[in-house]
Structure 1
Amino acid sequence: MAGHCVSLTTWNSVMLQSVKVKRVDVVWKFYGDMLEYDVVGDVDTIGYLVQTFCMENNTAKGHKLLRQVLEAGHVPSNAAFNKLISAFCKSGNYAKVSALLHTMIAKNCSLDIHTYQEVIHGLCKRRMRHEPLRNYLKDRGYFPDRVMYTTMIHGLCKMKCLGEAWKLWFEMIQKEIVPNEHTYNSLINGLWRTGNIEEAEKLYKNVCEKVMEKLL
């Protein structure tokens, strides 16, 4: 980029890729270069900076920057909201999570499955029940996919709620959503932890048989 100034689209493209590979140092380097060239960023640029703050565990600054861009009348992509939601979930600040979800709805953002996954994953990590959120998700027209089912099953098993984990497992099968190795591992580990050795071995045998069927 030496010798001439490239378009904002190019700057944003580089920043986006840097965010994707979690190279916060590169994000700040290119943002500094943008300022030197007097390139004015747009709402996408701000969204990448919000995500970068979150990756640096500087959620407060990321949240402040989001509020500023919203007050200016701009709405960043869901990715920026999702990063903040993930960060607040990790710290257990569900008041902020709720506020962000309401802001997204108020700003006519289409809450996607990734938004809900962040919340459910956070609830699981904090050992909190998430049935009300799952129902809320369904009410809004989002139906759990394999990743979401696996996330919920994993969280329930860590909470030793095997009954609920099995319920989701059979619901998953009934909907013809095929469990993957992560789903099996989560449930098998949960069964072992709770002393259900026979059930764990039975499930392990089941997954081995399925692997063999694929190989034959």
Structure 2
Amino acid sequence: MHQTSPSSHARPSQVRFTPVLNLTSGEPMTLLAETLKPFEERVAFGPAASQSEPISPAAFLAEQLVQIARMAHEETDIRPVIVPISMAALIHADTPIACDAAIRRTVLCPQEICFEVNDSTLALPSPEARQGLMALRKLGFRLSLDATRSWQAALSTDLRILLETMRIDSRQIELEPALEERIETASTCGMQIIAEQASWRDGDWLASMGIDYGVRPRADA
């Protein structure tokens, strides 16, 4: 553990860390691990396709998890680490056991990892995504919702129990009443709300709505 607040510079490992900060005190709350090449972008055509070995979304996520966990252990003591999970990985039958095995290869425990799923994935009528979340939760992993581009998934009772945090785009709050209602619902049930594109000067206003944290908050003009 060498850094308390790691910078968000890119690394050759295709992962970058960004601290999630309290918009009032500036203290770090958690850490966002952003993968620069998600599973869906591994599709290759032509000669490149024949050179790449096939890998399942579960195995791809497990490899990323090992890398992220080891980097976090070496560089920072901020926990938990939010790790994005693709729809393909979330609904894959092997993902829970692959992630469980992966985290056991590191010094981190499942509670130090928070998998973040896109809202659009949970808005689908198929039950596989929610079943995948429940399977990961049973193994001890924490869960988060990325609602920065979509906020259509209903926050049912089971999701309110499963999800600990929700990330939103603060620029959309006054433009989208549905998002404001979503924030109120999430905050009321104890979820921590993380704002993208927030300004430091708006900290008190955001806190009044239950939004206490931000990613890359903008400096006041």
What TM-score comes out, normalization by structure 1 length? 0.33
Structure with the larger strand share? 2
Work out which structure has the larger RCO, using CA pairs closer than 8 Å and 6 or more positions apart in sequence. Answer: 2
For the pair shown, which has the larger CA radius of gyration, 1 or 2?
A: 1
Q: Give the TM-score normalised by the residue count of structure 2.
A: 0.32
